Chains A and B, each alone.
Chain A
């Protein structure tokens, strides 16, 4: 994931006044941050605004980064809090885990997917669409684990839970992802396994 100077070296230089170097950190993590933010909102403009806000907040609080965790873990913690604040401001309901309504809501919002089942989709499309059908909690933990390459300990730190809870949440999220794929993309899943 990293090329060039390590994060901590860049951070030290930025703290010493070399503000321009912060662009390296932004370039390194912008896609990760943007992808995680897109799990909270499907609107790309909103996502870009939130992602920018995350990097500005991270810059302002850079002196508080003590290097006890990876910079990415610290940054994704800011992503989580910023996204939750954004959703609260916009009054978008934040769905908690284990609520059946979440899935009903997701099914209703994406009923168009069923109609499109005749169209064969690529495996990547199937996964991406199934991820969009998941609750925010589930999609977020899968993105953090697989795309943002965070360990269960790091995910625990980001979400404010212990690693075992993170492990259980990840397992449940994967089960639900598979269920969504089997329910909405039956043919494609058969092709995948076959």
Chain B
């Protein structure tokens, strides 16, 4: 506990006003009774005072504020992110991926012959006997249903993208008209 680094750490906590009331009282007693702790406390207190109260802030040039005001006069405040991030699109993308994963899992599990090796009653043991080499993945990726499913998803994706871009274009046109209106 009386290692110099421990003393410093605990004194800094004390100086920062951190720690429980009990801990603070204990440190106060140590400072009052122990010369090593007292000396370290004085040293850190001096440094704390310099850092907190006597260090001056740097100042930019006189034209600083003016330069910024000139710069921002050319800009507009961007709409808040929450107004242009459409949650329905995010949920749509999420739903699409979930549907795709579920469809692949259902198709894959449908091809496994679960009862193929059931000579014993222990089903957990049977799971180890499933021969994954026999799963026909070619029918999964080459089937007409999968192709239709993928095509429908692609078309839905394109429709969603088109709707999003149209809305963006309309919003941009509206903002330009508003800016031109206020500028006149």
Contacts and interface: CB of A to CB of B under 8 A. Distances in A.
B51 A146 contact: yes
Interface in B45-83: 46-47, 50-52, 54-61, 64-65, 67-69, 71-73, 75-81, 83
Interface residues of B, number: 37
B42 interface: yes
A61 interface: yes
A63 interface: yes
A112 interface: no
Contacts of A167: 18
Interface stretch (A49-57, A87-95, A113-121): A49-57
Interface in B155-177: none
Nearest to A45: B61
A172 to B, nearest CB: 10
B9 interface: yes
B8 A124 contact: no
Contacts of A146: 51-52, 55
A177 to B, nearest CB: 8
Given A31-B58, A35-B57, A171-B12, A52 B50 contact: no
A142 interface: yes
Nearest to A143: B55
B58 A35 contact: yes
Interface in A127-148: 127-128, 142, 146-147
Contacts of A159: none
B43 interface: yes
A97 interface: no
A161 interface: no
A93 to B, nearest CB: 23
Nearest to B67: A52
B47 A178 contact: yes
Interface stretch (A2-10, A17-25, A73-81, A99-107): A17-25
A48 B56 contact: no
B165 to A, nearest CB: 22
Nearest to A149: B52
Nearest to A56: B71
A1 to B, nearest CB: 11
Interface string B4-40: 0100110010000010000000000000000000000
Given A124-B50, A171-B9, A193-B43, A30 B56 contact: no
A192 B45 CA distance: 11
Nearest to A123: B50
Interface of B: 5, 8-9, 12, 18, 42-43, 46-47, 50-52, 54-61, 64-65, 67-69, 71-73, 75-81, 83, 182
27 contacts: A14-B77, A15-B77, A17-B182, A23-B65, A26-B64, A26-B68, A30-B59, A30-B60, A30-B65, A31-B57, A31-B59, A34-B59, A34-B60, A35-B57, A38-B58, A47-B60, A51-B60, A52-B71, A55-B68, A56-B75, A60-B75, A60-B76, A123-B54, A124-B54, A174-B12, A192-B46, A193-B42
